[in-house]
Amino acid sequence: MKKFETLSSSVVPLPIENIDTDQIIPARFLKATTREGFGENLFRDWRYDSNNQPKQDFVLNNPTYSGKVLVAGKNFGCGSSREHAAWAIQDAGFDVVISSFFADIFKGNALNNGLLPIQVSDAFLAEIFKEVEKNTDTKLTVDLEAQTVTIDATDSQESFEINPYKKSCLINGYDDIDFVRSQIELIEAFEENKVFKFY
């Protein structure tokens, strides 16, 4: 996993609520057996019409908007457990997703891949959308160490929560498997002493 570093970037706004993983990456594009290449089908049915022509009114097709931060309405990533959703967002060049609420499994999947999900208040989310509407180049600074996100132009700032263990994984680029593998003796001892041997 690559290390997460402090970033300052313009944003891509998507002020829609309950964006589910079928919108992020529709099921018919889940047939690949590697982790790469899902970015081109990110938000596929919002991005392209039935003739595969880009829909001009969708934000990812609007060159005015670009950046490493995707900002979306509340309950982002609900639905299926497909990690392909996190892979697709990352593959399309995003390092951070900001929303006022995330679905559990999506949040875990994102963290396991070094894509940082940041939960902000409804008010701060509205403030970001408002600033981006005023100025499409609005930049946000994301400081994981300090756990803050700042709207550069106004200096308006909010702190966010993250599990300290996941934070250190992101900052150092570690993954969970190495950590749990190091506990294998403990796991074997647990198996020996299980109260329910009949499973």
Partner 1 sequence: MAKTLVEKIWDAHVVKREEGFPDILYIDTHLIHEVTSPQAFDGLRKRGLKLFRPQQTVATADHNVPTLNQHLPIKEELSRYQVDMLTKNCAEFGVELYGLGHRYQGIVHVIGPELGITLPGKTMVCGDSHTSTHGAFGAIAFGIGTSQVEQVFATQCLQQSKPKTMKIEVNGELGKGISAKDIILYIIAKISAAGGTGYFVEFAGSAIRSLSMEARMTVCNMSIEMGARGGLIAPDETTFEYIKGREFAPKGEKWEEALTYWKTLYSDADATFDSILTFNAADIAPMITYGTNPGMGIGIDDKIPSTSAQPTSEQLSYQKALDYMGFDDDASLIGKPIDYVFIGSCTNSRIEDLREVASFVKGKQKAADVEVWIVPGSKQVEAQAVAEGLDKIFESAGFQLREPGCSACLGMNEDKIPAGKYCVSTSNRNFEGRQGPNARTLLVSPLTAAAAAVTGKITDVRELLEA
Instruction: State the burial class of residue 14 (Cβ atoms within 10 Å of its Cβ: 0-12, 13-18, 19+).
Output: buried
Whose Cβ is closer to partner 1: residue 139's or residue 158's? Answer: 158
Among 45, 127, 143, 152, binds partner 1 (CB under 8 A): 45
Among 11, 78, 98, 144, binds partner 1 (CB under 8 A): 78
The DSSP output letter for 29 is G
How many of the other CB atoms lie within 10 Å of CB of 82? 21
**Encoding tokens for residue 20?**
């589910």
Q: Which stretch binds partner 1 (CB under 8 A): 2-10, 60-68, 146-154, 176-184?
A: 176-184
Residue 184: burial class (beta carbons within 10 Å; 0-12, 13-18, 19+): exposed
The interface region with partner 1, picked from 5-13, 54-62, 139-147, 174-182 by CB under 8 A, is 174-182
Q: Residue 70, interface with partner 1 (CB under 8 A)? A: no
Q: Quick one: the chain helix, strand, coil %, rounded to 5?
A: 35, 20, 45
For residue 159, the minimal CB distance to partner 1 (Å) is 18
CB nearer to partner 1: give 52 or 56: 52
Q: Pull the structure tokens for residue 138.
A: 């609005």
List the interface residues with partner 1, window 143-172 (CB under 8 A): 163-165
Residue among 103, 115, 120, 170 that touches partner 1 (CB under 8 A): 103
Question: What does the block give as tokens for 183?
Answer: 């506990």
Q: Give yes or no for a contact between 127 and 156, defined as CB atoms under 8 angstroms apart.
A: yes
CA distance 181 to 187: 9
DSSP-derived 3-state class of residue 119: strand
Q: Is 173 in the site for partner 1 (CB under 8 A)?
A: no
Interacting residues toward partner 1 by CB under 8 A: 15-18, 20, 22-23, 26-28, 30-35, 45, 50, 73-75, 78-84, 86, 101, 103-105, 108-109, 112-113, 122, 126, 163-165, 175-177, 179-181, 183-184, 186-187, 190-191, 194-196, 198-199
